[in-house]
Structure 1
């Protein structure tokens, strides 16, 4: 296993454990906005689920094929829809859904051969390798996890 792949795998393992730990969060903190005009913890975690599903269904199957990548969803629409859904769902449902989908994504990532991690892929007009693609997604996760940690430790 190459270092980049190992780093991404460790990130996803961490993400699963971090979100699992939110089961201990009191409901009022779970439903509290991280700051004025921003989402709640529930909405943040809830919006990660459909993006993981998108990567599973509309990125991974196409990355190493000759088929063109499917067009990505409208970011604002997907985020608004997923945040709205999270407002209606119980905490345990959101957390379990996140863990389930992220675990499936982790399993698929673990199955990517070492030789593929440095191959160039094209997404839209952007050319990058698989590590850089997943590194960008991990940075997005960490941005939100840091927001959550800051809020719950206030």
Structure 2
């Protein structure tokens, strides 16, 4: 699982081959840009590393930040003038730090159950909260955004080759 989680670094790093201007174009009308998505992933990794992971202990009730608040912070940061390549570098470094911490956990630590905001069960997966289920949901989350970005770049470059 950790290896799969780690692989997002290589994929996100590979996005550097795309023109900088493309990072700031919404992937669809009313949707985020690639830059905002990368910042979103980086902000969640940082939040998990600093606020969630240290509190994943048996029967702990972790108070989690409001999703929208963190997502808005990430979006604003992505649109603050930072380059797409810098966002990518920040994501890669943050993911490396999170993966290092995960690799330092014991097998039993991955299955300790805790609560988040009073909930014992992840409403998305239906599984009790544990480090394993929590990180697994982030792998799904990475793949969801990876698919969006791939579709965006595929459609963008397909448009470049159409006869006009």
Tell me the TM-score normalised to structure 1 length.
Answer: 0.87
Q: What pairs up with 1:60-79 in 2 under 5 angstroms?
A: 60-64=53-57, 68-69=61-62, 71-79=63-71
Aligned to 1:42: 35
Matched, 1:112 2:113: no
Distance 1:30 1:84 in 2: 14
Q: In structure 2, the residue corresponding to 1:61 is in which secondary structure?
A: helix
- When Rg is computed on C-alpha atoms for both structures, the one with the higher figure is 2
Bigger Cα displacement from structure 2, 135-144 vs 59-68? 59-68
CA RMSD in angstroms, aligned pairs only: 1.6
Aligned to 2:8: 15
CA 101–145 in structure 1, closer or farther in 2 if over 3 Å, else same: same
| Divergent runs of 4+, >3 A | 65-68
Post-superposition offset of 1:68: 4.2
Q: Which ranges in structure 1 are unaligned for 5 or more consecutive residues?
A: 1-6
Whose RCO is larger (CA < 8 A, sep 6+)? 1
Q: Which ranges in structure 2 are unaligned for 5 or more consecutive residues?
A: 122-127, 156-164
Tell me the TM-score normalised to structure 2 length.
Answer: 0.82
Distance 1:98 1:136 in 2: 18
The number of residues matched between the two structures is: 146
Aligned to 1:126: 120
